[in-house]
Structure 1
């Protein structure tokens, strides 16, 4: 058994030694651009992404770089629907690029450190006479080898898979020696390696412009499309060796999109401006017609701004709901305006008590004595006002205002009652309480006046 184990271990060591002398992924001629990711469209066209891309819901967001260092260089954020992207190829290329970048920076160094650790583990395994310890060392080494590629961008996964297969044989021998029958299920996972993906060299400045044109046709965000084409035009004009046809195509596309952008802006801005007026006027049918106008105008322009149009239509439908609310508010006001005005006229005459007895109320609020005659007259006036307010049956719009007025009158009555007591026997605490009551009554009365003024007008949703 020991001889068999030794021969197996040495065979594994040979694989390890072979793996350490081999290099990782073969670098294709021309040196790939490790900072240029690729976006593969479903129609076969390819875009370049400066740095990593990000998927946000149903969109892929990335940066399109154009031009060259030392000359005109631009970077534009672009959004492309995931539906037009071959995500399998795109993510596979990104994984291969990350692995290549990792290999170039520190992959081989960290791989060699792993191999050194595994070699030491093998030596410890061979030197030990404890069967259980040897089995434990082999299992730990296998687990580490299995986990390493996933945590290191798949680097050297094929070589590690060969090592794992030899360790599996060692573990089987050790299991037989210890009486263990099989692996636990978490130990039999295979070490998979992604199929090789050829990496592309950096695009030439002219190619960056050509790919920007493709990106402009793939995005459905109007403002991004126009910004990308403006950048492409700047870069193309700066390239001495750019093909005349490329410059011409960029200029043509830019002019076309500029015209489209102006047309869409006019269409959508006018619709929203008219919708705002329709909301204020309570005319929902006007907005329904505007929705049809936007849909018709979009069709005439070739459905070239789907996101902008969709956002505008959502806003218009929301405006339509507000216009309905305003229409109902106008109709309600027309129904009750007679009652509102009758209430206002009835209360206006009764509320003259506030003006007629202003000096008496001011004296109480200021802590000054008031004559008993004036106090009694004010008490009678506000008592009559309270009876009027109780007898009124205001419409729903004025229930709040009527309640505020009643509270104000009751506070005045309380202040007057305290004032009458003060006229008989001055008291500092009663004087403060009376002043507070009149002050609070004034505040409530003013609030009621404002509430009444609002209720006398049709409710406005905007």
Structure 2
């Protein structure tokens, strides 16, 4: 076993120390499309649900101009894209941190083996060796498959050492925790920054593939900016057709936006009018128009149509609720009128008392004789009102009426007491009560008036 250990330590220490390479160019990935073309992504791309998010490479390596873009995941040739991405990650890792990390791993394994050699407790030595093996077996998978053949060779030596230690400790079974090695990396040429002409082609190709109009417009404008900045690089005979194509497509997009804006305004206006009249069928007919009108325009704005449907559906819901309120009011209208008639006498009494209550609030009368008459007129009114049974949805209004009456009674009583005692503080208390009575009376009048009117769409 000692011979095995010596050979393994020598193998680990023999790994050359390679200086970390500096990346001269940005890390670029190639997205291969199902139509046979490709796009260059500056940095990693991300697959989010059914879409791919990436930064379209542009500009130069020194001064990149990035355009964040998305594509449906179904547009990507994933087997080919993933193979190239694995190759790119492997080569970048190998040229930057690979040797440095592998050297660190080798040093760690050599240290562990030294512990095994020096440890007289074979059971502990076996545990150390098994732990080292588990770490070593995982390393290629966690490091893009880098130097996995070398790791496999070290593992074979280490397995022999573990077998010897098991024999020395009397352990007969040898259960290895098998870890699947990453598949061999197929080295492919690294992507390079596209030329100015290729960058324009990429942007226009992406604009033709994207489903979102807002992204398409941004990409087309980006293509025009690229043509402007590369005017001295791209020959005029090549740039002119590209510019005309981008400008023509932008004009189509603007015209389409105007048509969909007009459609949205017209249909929402129709739906709003129908809802304001509680005509559910009218609003439903407007909603049914949406797919037909969208088809006439080529179905080119799914986001706009989705928002339009949501607006009309909100109006449809409002029309249904409004119709229900109208029907409810029709059923209960007679109850509201009966209630108005039942409280009309008391309401009239309070209305007639308003000038006197205004005088009390302003600490300006009325005369003691008037107060006596007013007190007699108000006496017992609150108790009578409390015995009444108003409609359930007018109970709050009725409570306000009772409160207004009690405030009026308190105002008259306090004012009379203040006049008899010459007490200004009591006069102010009467003023507050009168103000409360006038405020509640105004609310009661408004709510009874509204209950007798047909409901309005909020």
Query: Cα distance, 1:333 vs. partner?
Result: 4.1
Taking the aligned partners of 2:206 and 2:249, their CA distance within structure 1 comes to 12
Query: Cα distance, 1:126 vs. partner?
Result: 2.5
Matched, 1:160 2:151: yes
Aligned pair count reads 452
Structure 1 contact 216–225 (Cα < 8 Å) conserved:
yes
Query: Cα distance, 1:224 vs. partner?
Result: 0.9
TM-score (norm: length of structure 1): 0.79
**Which sits farther off after the overlay, 314-323 or 340-349?**
340-349
Which residue in the other structure is 2:119 paired with?
128
Which residue in the other structure is 1:76 paired with?
67
Matched, 1:222 2:213: yes
Query: Cα distance, 1:223 vs. partner?
Result: 0.8
Matched, 1:47 2:39: yes
The structure-2 alpha-carbon separation of the partners of 1:442 and 1:63, relative to structure 1 and needing over 3 Å to count, comes to: farther
Which residue in the other structure is 1:195 paired with?
185
Structure 1 contact 353–378 (Cα < 8 Å) conserved:
no
SS of 2:52's partner is: strand
Picking from 294, 301, 315, the partner of 2:297 is 301
Which residue in the other structure is 2:408 paired with?
412
Query: Cα distance, 1:342 vs. partner?
Result: 6.7
Which residue in the other structure is 2:107 paired with?
116
Deviations 1:63-112 (A, max 9, x none): 334444799x7543333233433455555555554454444443432332
Deviations 1:354-397 (A, max 9, x none): 44334654566678997664444334444575477557665555
Which residue in the other structure is 2:234 paired with?
241
For structure 2, which runs of at least 5 residues remain unmatched after alignment? none
Counterparts of 1:3-82 in structure 2 under 5 Å?
5-13=1-9, 15-16=11-12, 20=16, 34-68=26-60, 75-82=66-73
Taking the aligned partners of 1:155 and 1:237, their CA distance within structure 2 comes to 44
Query: Cα distance, 1:295 vs. partner?
Result: 0.7
Taking the aligned partners of 2:161 and 2:85, their CA distance within structure 1 comes to 36
Counterparts of 1:170-185 in structure 2 under 5 Å?
170-182=161-173
Which residue in the other structure is 2:319 paired with?
323
Which residue in the other structure is 2:279 paired with?
283
SS of 1:168's partner is: helix
Deviations 1:119-145 (A, max 9, x none): 222233233333123213212322332
Query: Cα distance, 1:442 vs. partner?
Result: 4.0
The structure-2 alpha-carbon separation of the partners of 1:165 and 1:321, relative to structure 1 and needing over 3 Å to count, comes to: farther
Taking the aligned partners of 2:448 and 2:30, their CA distance within structure 1 comes to 67
The structure-2 alpha-carbon separation of the partners of 1:346 and 1:421, relative to structure 1 and needing over 3 Å to count, comes to: same
The structure-2 alpha-carbon separation of the partners of 1:42 and 1:455, relative to structure 1 and needing over 3 Å to count, comes to: farther
Query: Cα distance, 1:279 vs. partner?
Result: 2.8
SS of 1:351's partner is: helix
Structure 1 contact 278–287 (Cα < 8 Å) conserved:
yes
**Which sits farther off after the overlay, 221-230 or 452-461?**
452-461
The structure-2 alpha-carbon separation of the partners of 1:60 and 1:266, relative to structure 1 and needing over 3 Å to count, comes to: farther
Picking from 306, 309, 318, the partner of 1:310 is 306
The structure-2 alpha-carbon separation of the partners of 1:54 and 1:23, relative to structure 1 and needing over 3 Å to count, comes to: same
Which residue in the other structure is 1:142 paired with?
133
Deviations 1:260-292 (A, max 9, x none): 333333323432343333333333333323333
The structure-2 alpha-carbon separation of the partners of 1:197 and 1:327, relative to structure 1 and needing over 3 Å to count, comes to: farther
Counterparts of 1:307-386 in structure 2 under 5 Å?
307-333=303-329, 336=332, 340=336, 350-358=346-354, 360-361=356-357, 373-383=369-379, 386=382
Which residue in the other structure is 1:254 paired with?
250
Query: Cα distance, 1:118 vs. partner?
Result: 1.8
Higher relative contact order (CA 8 A, sep 6+): 1
The structure-2 alpha-carbon separation of the partners of 1:117 and 1:344, relative to structure 1 and needing over 3 Å to count, comes to: same
**Which sits farther off after the overlay, 59-68 or 217-226?**
59-68
SS of 2:349's partner is: helix
Taking the aligned partners of 1:233 and 1:330, their CA distance within structure 2 comes to 57
Query: Cα distance, 1:225 vs. partner?
Result: 1.3
Taking the aligned partners of 1:384 and 1:450, their CA distance within structure 2 comes to 24
TM-score (norm: length of structure 2): 0.79
The structure-2 alpha-carbon separation of the partners of 1:118 and 1:275, relative to structure 1 and needing over 3 Å to count, comes to: same
